Amino acid sequence: MKLYSRGQVIFFSVVSGLIATLIVLGVSKENTRSGVKAQAEIAAIELTADQPYYAATPWLEAPILNTADIVSYTEDERENISIYERINPAVVNITTEIMAINWFLEPIPQEGGSGSGSIIDTRGYVLTNNHVIQNAHKVFINLADGSQFEGSVVGIDLENDLAVLKFEPPGGMELRYIPYGDSSNLKVGQKVLAIGNPFALERTLTVGIVSGLGRPIQTSRRHIIRDMIQTDASINPGNSGGPLLDTQGRMIGINTMIYSPSGGSVGIGFAVPVDTARRVVPELIQYGKVHRGWIDATVVQIFPNLVRYARLPVESGLLVSRTRRSGLAERAGLRQGNEPVQYGRNIIYIGGDIITSVNSIKTNSLADLYSALEASKPGDRVTVEILRDGKPLTLEIPLANREEVLNQ
Domain holding 121, by residue range, is 87-166
Residue 277 sits in the same domain as residue 311: no
Residue 238 sits in the same domain as residue 329: no
- CATH number assigned to the domain comprising residue 117: 2.40.10.10
Residue 143 sits in the same domain as residue 117: yes
Beta-carbon contacts of 36 under 8 Å, excluding residues fewer than 6 positions away, are: none
Residue 369 sits in the same domain as residue 299: yes
**Catalytic, out of 114, 116, 157, 161:** 161
Q: What is the pLDDT along the chain (408 residues), one digit of tens a residue?
A: 444 444 443 444 444 444 444 333 343 333 333 333 333 333 333 323 332 322 332 322 333 334 444 468 899 999 999 999 999 999 999 999 987 777 777 777 777 788 999 999 999 999 999 999 999 999 999 999 999 999 999 999 999 999 999 999 998 888 999 999 999 999 999 999 999 988 877 889 999 999 999 999 988 878 889 899 999 998 888 899 999 999 999 999 999 998 877 666 678 999 999 999 999 999 999 999 999 999 999 999 999 999 999 999 999 999 999 999 999 999 999 999 999 999 888 899 999 999 999 999 999 999 999 999 999 999 999 999 999 999 999 999 999 999 888 877
Residue 353 designated active-site: no
**Catalytic, out of 211, 234, 240, 321:** 240
**Catalytic, out of 114, 116, 118, 131:** 131
Residue 258 sits in the same domain as residue 240: yes
Residue 323 sits in the same domain as residue 270: no
Residue 137 designated active-site: no
Of 292, 314, 290, which Cα lies nearest the Cα of 304? 314
- Cα 276 to Cα 113: distance, rounded to the nearest angstrom: 25
pTM: 0.77
Give the Cβ contact number of residue 50 at 10 Å.
9
Residue 272 sits in the same domain as residue 307: no
Residue 218 sits in the same domain as residue 146: no
- Does some domain include residue 369? yes
Residue 278 sits in the same domain as residue 301: no
Residue 291 designated active-site: no
- Looking at residue 180, the DSSP 8-state letter turns out to be B
